[in-house]
Amino acid sequence: MFEYIFFDEKLRDRFVSRAREQGVDCIISDDPMGHAVCIPEDFSEEVLDDLEQYYELLEKEQIDLSRKQGDLKGLAAFSFKLPDGQSRMLPLQTELANRLLASFSLDEIQRLFEDVARCTLNPSDEHLCRILRGESRED
């Protein structure tokens, strides 16, 4: 199952509507982080990619809504993908989320978290200087 978190019910409902238009059944639940929507993984890449792109669009709308309200309230979260393609959310304190958003785009933040996840799940014992030069032990 892929899980998507929303902080606004209207945004969640728009996502669910889009998923159901494509024949995807959704499991909706409340989560300590917000409103959760789970969908099965057994759909075509095309459908899953469309829903992922739509989710990213809705995330940007959520950030815009939060900014218009003066600040990200209480807790913010950023989505990112694990190396196997699963989506995850990283909750952050509002102050840290605002500092990240002031300096980086949403895409840059997601790439950062994805790089951290990749390095955590697939650690390398290479020396940093070799990694940065693009060398490997096989070279």
Report if pTM > 0.85. no
pLDDT at 13: 95
C-alpha–C-alpha distance, residues 65 and 67, integer Å: 5
Q: Is the pLDDT of residue 14 over 70?
A: yes
Bridge partners, residue 39, by sequence: 2
Tell me the per-residue pLDDT of 22-58, one tens digit each, with 9 for 90 and over: 999 999 988 666 788 989 888 888 998 999 999 989 9
pLDDT tens digits, one per residue of 113-137: 998 998 888 887 766 676 677 665 5
pLDDT top residue among 76 and 56? 56
Taking the alpha carbons at both ends of the chain, their separation in whole angstroms is 40
